[in-house]
Amino acid sequence: MKIDPWASKGIQNYKEICDKFGLDAIDHTKLPNPTHLHRRGIIFAHRDLDNVLQSKKRDRGFGVLSGLMPSGQIHLGHKMVIDQAKWFQDLGGDVTITVADLEAHATRGLSLEKCRKYAIEEYISNYAGMGLDPDKTSIYFQSERPVVQKLGFTLGKKTNLSEMEAIYGFSGETNLAHVQSPLVQAGDIVHPQLEEYGGLRPIVVPVGIDQDPHIRLTRGMVSKTNWFNVNENKSGNVTIGLSIQDNNQNTMGLRDDGGIDKKQRQKVIDKAIVAIRKAGFNETNANPKHGTIEIKDANYGEHNELKYHLLNLERQMGGMGLMQPASTYHQFAVGMTGGKMSSSQPETTMFLNDSMKDIEKKIKSSFSGGKPTVEEHRAKGGNPDVDVAYQYLRYFFEEDDNELERIRNEYISGDLLTGEIKSICVEKATTWMKNHHELKDQNQHLVKEFLK
């Protein structure tokens, strides 16, 4: 099973994906102020979200990073990601948004000027109506932040074509733009940790499940740059291992002739033990020759705290000290015609610039889970799981869980007819959209602020 982030065919089995790629399930009862997306299991999985929430608790802050491809029209799916960014922002995170103009240029053949115009007129002007705090939000263009490209190169040293092949299913015919853009995207994802962009803190990337290959690649490359590995050992405790690399071997106490510089090695071990103490652990047992430190009073559940202090140390010693990005994953709403949502087929989705008439038309002709005749529907009831009107209420337009439950039950029992559930959806969707258009118009001045 592979996921192609550029042409995902729609996911059939979310659970299988979690198992195969090692995603953790989200328990919304443990989240502060869960949104309807969390409560309904639409945001269903994560990597390292605990690290983010712990960092917030310890007042060390955290960042959120998202990106947009400036091609096509902005639709409800894009809004879902911004809603998540806003949720994280309300919890105290700072938000950075990448305009992937280099990626769009390379993979979609758009000029950078077109990308810029598109990004501003189509996307960012709509973001202005979505409640992000301009003081804690920054939107930038990939082509204008050279450091993300530089990081792409630096991280690129930690992967190779075979790994890219295994992750993305690339082959000999793959266009090299598809090899380059995930590396630049990795640069996007990690750069908020650089000192000039806010320093060491967890960065969470809320994405659709189809983007997980990028997260996996980035996490893999980042962990290979780390100078101190934090591993669970056989007795269930933690062992720190020095990671010797081309650019740190002398600092880590390895001489050019391959022998160990005992004095230098001891210095590194001593520094690491100080960092381990800062993390709250004291029972260390070092083996300088092997470059390992066993920590007897730490279990693996505490690895984030250890990692934080060791990454700080790495930075003091001249390394990059990068944390693996965290991520959350959402499921996809079905397309309005019952298949996949696709921005190149306008009838399959609702665009944020659609008129009330467009919306009504799309909902009225959307795929229905009802029965063909009223009699049959009354007798057997409809199927909300495939019904577009119901699903759009669930994903986007009905915030009240009790109301949604009532609609669901009445639809299943046959009390609510297909035309009726569609009318409810039209009513809620047009109310939402009118309000969005108003907020968008009122807040156009924010576009400039976001781009500062």
Cα separation, 64 vs 441, whole angstroms: 26
Only segment of 34-42, 95-103, 377-385, 425-433 that touches ligand TRP (CB under 6 A): 95-103
Q: Is 66 in the site for ligand TRP (CB under 6 A)?
A: yes
Distances (CA, A) of 324 to 68, 71, 433: 21, 29, 37
Q: Which amino acid is at 161?
A: L
Minimum Å gap between C-beta 7 and ligand TRP is: 11
Annotate each residue in 363-402 with x if it binds ligand TRP (CB under 6 A) or - if it does not, as one string: ----------------------------------------
Report the side by side order of strands in the sheet with 43-47.
24-25, 43-47, 326-330, 203-208, 63-68, 94-99, 137-141
Only segment of 64-72, 250-258, 363-371, 405-413 that touches ligand TRP (CB under 6 A): 64-72
Site for ligand TRP in 229-288 (CB under 6 A): none
Minimum Å gap between C-beta 351 and ligand TRP is: 16
Answer for which of 67, 156, 291, 384 binds ligand TRP (CB under 6 A) is 67
Only segment of 96-104, 194-202, 386-394, 444-452 that touches ligand TRP (CB under 6 A): 96-104
Cα separation, 1 vs 20, whole angstroms: 9
Answer for which of 83, 94, 101, 103 binds ligand TRP (CB under 6 A) is 103
Q: Is 101 in the site for ligand TRP (CB under 6 A)?
A: no
Only segment of 63-71, 327-335, 367-375, 416-424 that touches ligand TRP (CB under 6 A): 63-71
> Quick check: 193 and 319 in contact, CB under 8 A?
no
Number of residues that bind ligand TRP (CB under 6 A): 12
Q: Is 100 in the site for ligand TRP (CB under 6 A)?
A: yes
Pick 227 or 332: Cβ nearer ligand TRP:
332
Pick 70 or 381: Cβ nearer ligand TRP:
70
Minimum Å gap between C-beta 358 and ligand TRP is: 24
Pick 187 or 288: Cβ nearer ligand TRP:
187
Identify the H or E element spanning 102: helix 101-108
> Quick check: 167 and 213 in contact, CB under 8 A?
yes
Annotate each residue in 164-193 with x if it binds ligand TRP (CB under 6 A) or - if it does not, as one string: ---------------------x--xx----
Pick 65 or 275: Cβ nearer ligand TRP:
65
Which own/partner contact pairs does 164-167 have at CB distance under 8 Å and 24+ positions apart?
164/217, 167/2, 167/213, 167/216, 167/217
Minimum Å gap between C-beta 442 and ligand TRP is: 27
Annotate each residue in 113-142 with x if it binds ligand TRP (CB under 6 A) or - if it does not, as one string: ------------------------------
For 191, list phi and psi in degrees, rounded to 5: -65, -25
The CB-nearest residue to ligand TRP is 67
451: Cα separation from own chain's centroid: 21
> CA 289, 291, 296 angle in degrees (round to 5)?
110
- Here the tokens at position 156 are 């690129």
Pick 100 or 275: Cβ nearer ligand TRP:
100
DSSP state of 301: G
Only segment of 97-105, 271-279, 286-294, 437-445 that touches ligand TRP (CB under 6 A): 97-105
Measuring CA to CA, which residue among 195, 202, 207, 8 is closest to residue 98?
Answer: 207
Q: Is 65 in the site for ligand TRP (CB under 6 A)?
A: yes
* Backbone conformation region of residue 380, classed left if phi is above 0, alpha if psi is from -120 to 50, else beta: alpha
The contacts of residue 335 (CB under 8 Å, 6+ apart) are 341, 342, 345, 348, 349
> Quick check: 189 and 205 in contact, CB under 8 A?
yes
Pick 190 or 279: Cβ nearer ligand TRP:
190
Minimum Å gap between C-beta 112 and ligand TRP is: 15
Identify the H or E element spanning 241: strand 237-242
Cα separation, 198 vs 292, whole angstroms: 31
Which own/partner contact pairs does 403-411 have at CB distance under 8 Å and 24+ positions apart?
408/384, 411/369, 411/370, 411/381, 411/382, 411/384, 411/387
Minimum Å gap between C-beta 235 and ligand TRP is: 38
Site for ligand TRP in 433-452 (CB under 6 A): none
Answer for which of 205, 268, 269, 313 binds ligand TRP (CB under 6 A) is 205
For tokens 């007798």, the residue is 379
Q: Is 69 in the site for ligand TRP (CB under 6 A)?
A: yes
Pick 95 or 207: Cβ nearer ligand TRP:
207
Contacts with ligand TRP, residue ranges (CB under 6 A): 65-67, 69, 98, 100, 103, 185, 188-189, 205, 207
